[in-house]
Amino acid sequence: MRECFEVRDTDAGGRIGELTVPRADVTVETPALLPVINPNLDTISPRRLATEFGAEILITNSYIIHGDDTLHERALEEGLHELLDFPGAIMTDSGSFQLSEYGEIDVTTEEILAFQHEIGSDIATPVDIPTPPDVSHERAEADLETTQERLEIAEAADTGEMLVSAPVQGSTYPDLRERAGRHADGTELDVFPVGAVVPLMNDYRYDDMIDVVAAAKRGLGADAPVHLFGAGHPMMFALAVAMGCDLFDSAAYALYARDDRYLTVRGTRQLADLEYLPCSCAICTAYSPDELRALPDDERESELAAHNLHVTFAEIRRIKEAIRAGNLLELVEQRARAHPTMLDGYRTLLDHAAQLERSDPVSKGSFFYTSHESARRPEVVRHHERLERLSVPDSLLLTEGDSPRSDEFDDSWRVEPPFGPFPRTLSRSYPLTAEVPERTDRAALEAAADGVARLVDANPDTAVTIAHRGWPAGVLERVPDSVDLVDLQSDDGR
Ligand SMILES: [Zn+2]
Q: What is the CA radius of gyration of the chain?
A: 26
Average pLDDT over residues 157-164: 96
Q: How far is the CA of 486 from the centre of ligand 1 (A)?
A: 57
Please report, in range form, the residues annotated as the binding site: 128, 196, 279, 281, 284
pLDDT score for 102: 87
pLDDT score for 492: 57
- % of the chain exceeding 90 in pLDDT: 92
CB atoms within 10 A of CB 189: 22
pLDDT score for 221: 87
Q: In the predicted model, is pLDDT for residue 155 greater than 90?
A: yes
How many residues would you count in the chain?
494
Is 93 catalytic? The answer is yes
Chain segment 342-363, per-residue pLDDT in tens: 999 999 999 999 999 999 999 9
Chain segment 456-469, per-residue pLDDT in tens: 999 999 999 999 99
pLDDT score for 374: 97
| Residues 389-422 as b or e (16 or more Cβ within 10 Å = b) | eeebeeebbbbbbeeeeeeebeebbbbbbbbbbb
Q: In the predicted model, is pLDDT for residue 186 greater than 90?
A: yes
Q: In the predicted model, is pLDDT for residue 261 greater than 50?
A: yes
**Residues 357, 381: contact at Cβ < 8 Å?**
yes
Q: How far is the CA of 256 from the centre of ligand 1 (A)?
A: 14
User: Which own/partner contact pairs does 71-74 have at CB distance under 8 Å and 24+ positions apart?
Assistant: 71/39, 71/40
Q: What is the mean pLDDT of the chain?
A: 96
pLDDT score for 1: 58
Q: How far is the CA of 472 from the centre of ligand 1 (A)?
A: 48
11, 42, 93, 246: which is the annotated catalytic residue?
93
CA pair distance 380, 362, nearest whole angstrom = 11
Q: How far is the CA of 310 from the centre of ligand 1 (A)?
A: 6
Phi, then psi, of 9 in degrees rounded to 5? -155, 145
Average pLDDT over residues 286-307: 98
Which residues touch 250 (CB under 8 Å, ≥6 apart)? 33, 34, 35, 36, 232, 233, 309, 312
Q: How far is the CA of 246 from the centre of ligand 1 (A)?
A: 24
Q: How far is the CA of 277 from the centre of ligand 1 (A)?
A: 7
- For domain 5-357, give the CATH number: 3.20.20.105
Q: How far is the CA of 309 from the centre of ligand 1 (A)?
A: 9
CB atoms within 10 A of CB 290: 9
Please state which of the ranges 6-10, 36-40, 166-170, 177-181 shows the lowest mean pLDDT: 36-40
Please report, in range form, the residues annotated as the binding site for Zn(2+): 279, 281, 284
- % of the chain exceeding 70 in pLDDT: 99
Average pLDDT over residues 101-107: 87
Q: In the predicted model, is pLDDT for residue 231 greater than 70?
A: yes
Sign of CA dihedral 247, 249, 252, 258: positive
**Three-state SS at 51:** helix
Average pLDDT over residues 234-258: 97
- Chain centroid, CA 90 distance in Å: 22
pLDDT score for 494: 47
Chain segment 365-401, per-residue pLDDT in tens: 889 999 999 999 999 999 999 999 999 999 999 999 9
Where on the phi/psi map is residue 25: left (φ > 0), alpha (ψ -120 to 50), or beta?
left
CA pair distance 463, 442, nearest whole angstrom = 26
Please give all residues whose CB falls under 5 A of ion ligand 1, grouped by chain where several chains appear. 279, 281, 283-284, 307
pLDDT score for 104: 87
Please report, for the chain, the start and end positions of each structural domain, with discontinuous segments joined by +. Answer: 5-357, 390-490
Average pLDDT over residues 127-148: 97
Please report, in range form, the residues annotated as the binding site for substrate: 128, 196
pLDDT score for 100: 82
